[in-house]
Amino acid sequence: MFKEEESLYIYVNSAVDTQQIEKERLLKELITVVSEGSSIRFDVQGVFSSVLEREAVSTTGFGEGFAIPHGKASDLKKPLVAVMKLQQGVEWESMDEQKVNTVILLIVPKENGEVQHLKLLSRLSYNLMDEEIQLAIKQDQTDEALQSTVQLMLTEI
Amino acid sequence: MKIVAVTACATGVAHTFMAKRAIEDAAKKRGHEVKVETQGATGIENGLTRKELEEADILILATDIKLARTERFENIKKVTIPVATAIKNANGVIKKIEEKLA
């Protein structure tokens, strides 16, 4: 389910159909899923390289089964937040060593996107520490339910 | 108690804010007043004022890097912990502080 808001795009998928269990391949597939499932165009390969570059610095594993990989796209007008629930857990070198079941992918515009990017990532990290939000995401079975939980996750600090 | 804290991590974003939330939640759950300053990639946010620092019972520095404006923290009772400790076990940290200050 794709939605355009004033300041960002939101894509949610409560059951991504992917069989990949290796992080890099999965990321490539997820970025493609987002690109196909949204009505906007961005350079999939460019985003993939940028996301991998960030993963190489340190893991984006959040703990509790979540990961927040992030990257930049040169042809994007506003940030895109994509929340996808996976069929099976993926190894992500998280602090708590749990496998990842939910990927929160953040793609921001390359041009002038730095501050936006940092603010959005701060907000997501802060709100995702809320156990109720974590539980809600785990329980959400439909895109509609997931979409409303994502709204809570985007609340300003 | 009045608890103040500063969080700062190496990459400057996610862990800084995860630690902020963890400390806020643990402190509130245990019945304390709390304010957490972040020193992240976007600079100092929710900065601690002189008054807040004076009135605080304890200052928690959850950091993996060198903090900015540390002259503010000179005459305050403080505890320094790694960011990961704040994220994983803020409750335990605050419990320990309660025992020490009791």
- The answer to whether residue A125 neighbours chain B at the CB level (below 8 Å) is yes
Q: Cβ contact (<8 Å) for A126 and B21?
A: yes
Tokens of A129: 């520490």
Residues 11-50 of chain B with CB under 8 A from chain A are: 11-18, 20-22, 25, 38, 40-42
Map residue A10 onto helix, strand or coil. strand
For residue B45, pLDDT beyond 90? yes
pLDDT (tens digit per residue) in A93-146: 988 899 999 999 999 998 877 888 899 999 999 999 999 999 999 999 999 999
Residues whose CB falls within 8 Å of the CB of residue A17, separated by 6 or more in sequence, listed in order: A87
Q: Which domains does chain B have, with CATH numbers?
A: 2-101 (3.40.50.2300)
Q: Identify the band that residue B79 occupies on the pLDDT scale cut at 50, 70 and 90.
A: very high
Q: What does the pLDDT read at residue A23?
A: 95
The 3-class SS string of A80-96 reads: EEEEEEEEEEECCCCCC
Task: Give A-chain residues touching B18 at CB under 8 angstroms.
Answer: 62, 125-126, 128-129
For residue B90, pLDDT beyond 90? yes
Q: What does the pLDDT read at residue A95?
A: 81
Q: What is the mean pLDDT of residues A63-86?
A: 94
Q: What does the pLDDT read at residue B78?
A: 96
Pair B37, B76: CB distance under 8 Å: no
Helix axes A131-139, A143-153, angle to 10 degrees: 160
* Average pLDDT of chain B, as a whole number: 95
Q: What is the mean pLDDT of residues A3-16?
A: 94
Q: Which domains does chain A have, with CATH numbers?
A: 2-155 (3.40.930.10)
Q: Cβ contact (<8 Å) for A157 and B17?
A: yes
- The answer to whether residue A53 neighbours chain B at the CB level (below 8 Å) is no
For residue A64, pLDDT beyond 90? yes
Question: What is the set of active-site residues of A?
Answer: 70
